[in-house]
Amino acid sequence: MLSEIVFHVNGKKIVYTGNPLTRLVDVLREDLGLTGVKEGCGEGECGACSVIKDGKLVTSCIIPVGAVNGSEIYTIEGIRDTEKGKCIIDAFAEGGAVQCGFCIPGMVMATYALLSSNPHPTEMEIRKGISGNICRCTGYDLIVESIKLASEKGGDLWA
Partner 1 sequence: MGMTYIPSTLDEALHLRAEKKARPLAGGSDLMVQSKRGIGLAPEFPFDVMIITGLKELKGIRKLDDGSVEIGALSTPAEIADSDLVPWHVRQAASGMGAIALRNSATIGGNIGNASPKGDLPQPLILLDASVVLASIRGERQMLLDDFILGSKKTALGDDEIIKSIVIPDYDFTYLFYRKIGMRKANAISKLSLSVAAVVKDGEIIDFRAASGAAGPRVIRSRDAENLLKGHKTEEIPEIQESFLDSWNNAISPHAMPLYRRNTTRRMLSYFLSAIYSGKAEGIIEEED
Smaller CB separation from partner 1, 44 or 119: 44
**61: closest CA among 91, 40, 83?**
40
Among 6, 35, 69, 155, binds partner 1 (CB under 8 A): 69
Long-range contacts of 137-146 (CB under 8 A, 24+ apart): 137/99, 137/100, 137/103, 138/97, 138/98, 138/99, 142/95, 142/96, 142/97, 143/92, 143/95, 143/97, 143/107, 145/95, 145/97, 146/91, 146/92, 146/94, 146/95, 146/96, 146/97
What is the contact mask toward partner 1 in residues 18 to 57, using x (rule: CB under 8 A)?
Answer: -xxxxx--x---x--------x--xxxx-x--x--x--xx
**Choice between 14 and 67, CB closer to partner 1:** 67
Q: According to CB under 8 A, which one of 2, 81, 156, 159 is a site residue for partner 1?
A: 2
Residues that bind partner 1 (CB under 8 A): 1-2, 5, 19-23, 26, 30, 39, 42-45, 47, 50, 53, 56-59, 61-64, 66-67, 69-70, 110, 113, 128-129, 131-133
